[in-house]
Amino acid sequence: MKVLFVHERFGAFAGAEANAQAVALEFRRRGHEVGLLHGPGTGRGEAAWRQTFSGCYELAVTPAAEALAQFNPDLIYVHNLPDLEVLETLLGSDRPAVRMVHDHALYCMRGYKYNVFTRRICTRAISPHCLIPCGGFLKRNREGGFPVSWVSYSRKRKEIRLNQRFQCLVVATDYRKDDLLRNGFRPGQIEIHAPVPPRADEAAPSTFGPRNLILYAGQMTRGKGVDVFLEALAQVNLPFECHLFGDGHYRNHCEQLSERLGLADKVRFRGFVPQAELQQQYQDCSVAVVSSVWPEPFGAVGLEAMRYRVPVVAFDAGGIKEWLIDGFNGYLVPWMDRRQFAVRLEALLRDKTRARQLGENGFRLLRERYDFSKYVDELERLFERLLG
């Protein structure tokens, strides 16, 4: 089968990009041909992407219709794609089309599903309430120039109508499915397939060494709650080290906050690092954190920690509770409760036997429920069913 992947970026960036490349690589290994219609490059890992896809078509150079004619796919697999004109072209072809809904951008004008001022999580469907009082028609402009940009409510409604034309939408959790149902999508149109990270060779379990290493891996954005996590760390009364891996617009703010909280000698901001280096850190850490305060669509980084038999501490936000079972493979902390987050971290650092047991539980859960090969099997069957 020939599958044309479609994504707004080209290269490594975050979870959506990691998932798209991993699935494409596995499809290719299974004998399928995979192409990519994409937006601008990220400057990270682009060589690996070129090796994965047999045909790469940049939208700025090759229009969608021309890419379809050149690659001639059997099926179109769309990831993130905010360009409605391209979306119309793809949905107007005679190929089956599947959409992987990675985040909230499809049905939230700002894309975060939480209040920009209070950070309180939103549970509404898109409606005029998004304009007044939410003010969703304005969002931060990260492209330079004027600091805010305009978001069109009518265009967002059009985007939802266009996406309702997909034969199937793939989501990671029941939490995401409920969001789509709330916004008018049909139950039979939505399938849940958790985007499991690929399992490399059997990972060596963490040593739970005396460093008391706490590890965060993810983007440095406000919704990821790194600032809230740092405020919790300041309340931990045991010696520890903390390494934070990832970049983003909020990194500078968090570095300054770390200084003000007196954590500069304990916390290191490592930025973006290759996966191999991150794996080495997992093999010596005692606990991994998912500090998201926005409604995390899935939080696959937690599964990565479970592979190394490391327990996870996270806020109860979005779909995280569908894989993090409180007291079984880590701790699920009430949303924004810094004190409780600190208590849970300290408990795992103090009791390494308990931490190892939770880590083992997480590893078993990962093996039983979240297997990459089975995940790709499910996608493969879905595509074949649509083609049939």
pLDDT 10s digits, 89-99: 999 999 999 99
pLDDT at 197: 81
- The strand pairing partners of 275, in sequence order, are none
DSSP 36: E
Residue 287 one-letter amino acid: V
pLDDT tens for each residue of 42-52: 999 999 999 99
Helix (H, G, I), strand (E, B) or coil at 169: strand
Of 313, 323, 306, 315, whose CA–CA distance to 361 is shortest? Answer: 306
| Averaged confidence pLDDT in the chain | 94
Question: What is the band of 164 on the pLDDT scale with cuts at 50, 70, 90?
Answer: very high
pLDDT at 324: 98
pLDDT at 317: 96
pLDDT tens for each residue of 71-94: 999 999 999 998 999 999 999 999
Contact between 234 and 262 (Cβ < 8 Å): yes
Residue 99 one-letter amino acid: R
pLDDT at 29: 96
DSSP 202: P
Question: What is the band of 116 on the pLDDT scale with cuts at 50, 70, 90?
Answer: confident
Question: What is the band of 66 on the pLDDT scale with cuts at 50, 70, 90?
Answer: very high
Least confident of 12-21, 29-38, 156-165: 12-21
User: Which one has a higher pLDDT value, 200 or 179?
Assistant: 179
H-run or E-run covering 376: helix 372-387
pLDDT at 292: 97
Kindly list the distances between the CA atom of residue 128 and the CA atoms of 108, 188, 189, 307, in Å, as whole numbers in the listed order: 12, 27, 25, 43
Whether residue 53 has pLDDT greater than 90: yes
Q: DSSP assignment of 252-289, as one string?
A: HHHHHHHHHTT-TTTEEEEES--HHHHHHHHTTEEEEE
Q: Is 265 exposed, middle or buried (0-12, 13-18, 19+ CB in 10 A)?
A: exposed
The most confident of the ranges 124-133, 185-194, 297-306 is 185-194
Question: What is the band of 148 on the pLDDT scale with cuts at 50, 70, 90?
Answer: confident
Contact between 171 and 101 (Cβ < 8 Å): yes
The β-bridge relationship of strands 148-150 and 138-140 is antiparallel
Question: What is the band of 113 on the pLDDT scale with cuts at 50, 70, 90?
Answer: very high
pLDDT at 144: 64
pLDDT tens for each residue of 298-319: 998 999 999 999 999 999 999 9
Phi and psi at residue 305, to the nearest 5°: -65, -40
What percentage of the chain reaches a pLDDT higher than 70?
Answer: 97
Q: Cβ neighbours of residue 86 under 8 Å, at least 6 residues apart?
A: 6, 37, 59, 64
H-run or E-run covering 187: none
pLDDT at 146: 65
Kindly give the interhelix angle for 226-233 and 251-260, rounded to the nearest 10 degrees: 20
CA distance 80 to 39: 10
pLDDT at 147: 67
Interior CA angle at 254 toward 249 and 256, to 5°? 115
C-alpha count within 13 angstroms, C-beta hemisphere, residue 128? 0
CA distance 197 to 331: 21
CA distance 362 to 310: 8
pLDDT at 200: 60
pLDDT at 143: 64
Q: Cβ neighbours of residue 247 under 8 Å, at least 6 residues apart?
A: 219, 220, 271, 272
Residue 285 one-letter amino acid: C
CA end-to-end distance (rounded Å), the chain: 12
CA distance 50 to 11: 9
Is the torsion defined by CA of 183, 187, 189, 193 positive or negative? positive
Q: Which two tokens stand for residue 29?
A: 């290994």
pLDDT tens for each residue of 229-249: 999 999 999 999 999 999 999
Whether residue 335 has pLDDT greater than 70: yes
pLDDT at 108: 93
